[in-house]
Amino acid sequence: MTDSLLGVAVGVAVVGLYVLALRWTGDGRTDGRDDGPRNREGQSNR
């Protein structure tokens, strides 16, 4: 059971770090679906 638990833990950690990396890079593609209009307004203001 320890092997399966470690596998799940590693998988969750990798996914979490991947999502955090996307947010840090400032792509905003994952959050663009929810805040699409907000991102467009922010770019137009600049």
Confidence at residue 10, expressed as pLDDT on a 0 to 100 scale? 97
Q: Inform me whether the pLDDT recorded for 16 exceeds 70.
A: yes
pLDDT in tens, 29-43: 545 455 555 555 555
CA distance 29 to 27: 5
Nearest CA-CA partner of 30 in 17, 20, 45: 20
Nearest CA-CA partner of 28 in 45, 19, 13, 16: 19
Contact 46, 35 (CB under 8 A): no
